[in-house]
Amino acid sequence: MKIYLYDTETDCIGSGSLSSAYVKSQLDAAAGADVAVHISSVGGSAFDAIAIYDLLKKYPGNVTTYIDALAASAASVVAMAGSKIVMSKYALLMIHKPMVGSGGNADELLKDVQMLNVVQSRLAQIYMDRSGLDGVTVNSLINSVTWMTADQALNMGFVDSIEDYSETIINSALIKKYTDTAPAVYQRCINKILTNKSNMNMDNRELIERTTTVLDKIMNFFKRVVNKQTITDKGTLHHAGDMTEGTEVYQDEELSEPAVTDTYTTPEGKQLAIKEGKVQTVSPAPDGQDDDEQEEAPASKFKLTKKPGEVQNKLQEIKARLHAQNALLNEAKAALEDAQTRLNKTREEVKNEIKSDFTPEGSKRSSKAKTETQPFFAPQSTLAQNAVKRAVGK
């Protein structure tokens, strides 16, 4: 079902066929079927707009709002109610501070000011919930009376897509394939990059190949951002999210090579049964003594009075602990070697690292300069430097 909220010579948001009462009657008639709400309005009553927003949000069916020409002022609030918001390539979206026409004494006017500030806070919350922007940014846009094109509204998260009437192009289909599964914030970043590149609308094979490579790198970057690691007795497992049943696990950081089918033991003693790159079961560590007591347990505790399976689990746990400790030692050694390299730099090399970042008027070079940021591990005293040298030498 389609509902058209188009201004007339006499009606705008809050009156006639654009009132909350009219919208409610249309939704009742739709009886839960999917609804498309088309908007072309300069605005109207903020309170009626909030009422329409609530009606659309609570409607059991799917609601898609379309900004056909203009969604300004109160109409922009109605547009935010769609589970999906589509904006015409040629449309505009405008948000501003609420207004009221009133008269009276100073006390009555101050009450109006307080009421308008409360109303603005409610409108701002609606924009924040839709766009994901913070309150300071949204209120700044409201106070500035912001007009947005379709591209700008998409980049800031106010709409989900732009309705374009041009023919589908090869590059667009390719881009859609790569970005559809990315989080919304990443899609907006990618869309912002692509809308600034006019040559993306070309049927160019070389360009398509380059686009594929770039998008592959972007998506791999996203994977590395969410990549988590679990150290086991058979090496490090890489995965996104928590390690639970059904989690996909990989051998490499790029999450491209599934982990081999086997049973893995974590340093905590958990048993991970993995088949074809997916976790089948996660068995908790067997009940026993704490970590310190386990590490110092005498050999007599490993007598054949224990079941062979328990002994095997214990050995796997110890191997996992050793693997974890070796990984930490390798990291520490790499840091020490980096520190040793810096200590061996000559005076001239250190001087060459100094870079000026300020040039006053009338001067070819500033006397003010600063060194590069200090590394996270660089001993300063002679005693510390000697300790590092001895450690690296071993």
Catalogue the active-site residues.
73, 96
* Residue 211 near residue 245, CB atoms below 8 Å: no
- CA end-to-end span of the chain: 77
Cβ neighbours of 50 (radius 10 Å): 19
**In Å, how far are 387, 388, 390 from 394, measured between CA atoms?**
11, 10, 6
358: which 2 tokens? 């300020």
Long-range contacts of 236-244, Cβ-Cβ distance < 8 Å, separation of 24 or more = 236/327, 237/264, 237/272, 237/274, 243/272, 243/279, 243/282, 244/279, 244/282
* Residue 329 near residue 337, CB atoms below 8 Å: no
CA dihedral 18, 129, 90, 50 (to 10 degrees): 10
* Residue 75 near residue 44, CB atoms below 8 Å: yes
**In Å, how far are 19, 54, 82, 341 from 27, measured between CA atoms?**
13, 12, 14, 72
Please report, as a single letter, which amino acid is at residue 335.
A
* Residue 20 near residue 51, CB atoms below 8 Å: yes
User: Dihedral sign, CA of 258, 264, 267, 271?
Assistant: positive
- Give 200's DSSP letter: G
Alpha helices in 147-204 (DSSP H): 150-155, 170-179, 184-195
* Residue 128 near residue 158, CB atoms below 8 Å: no
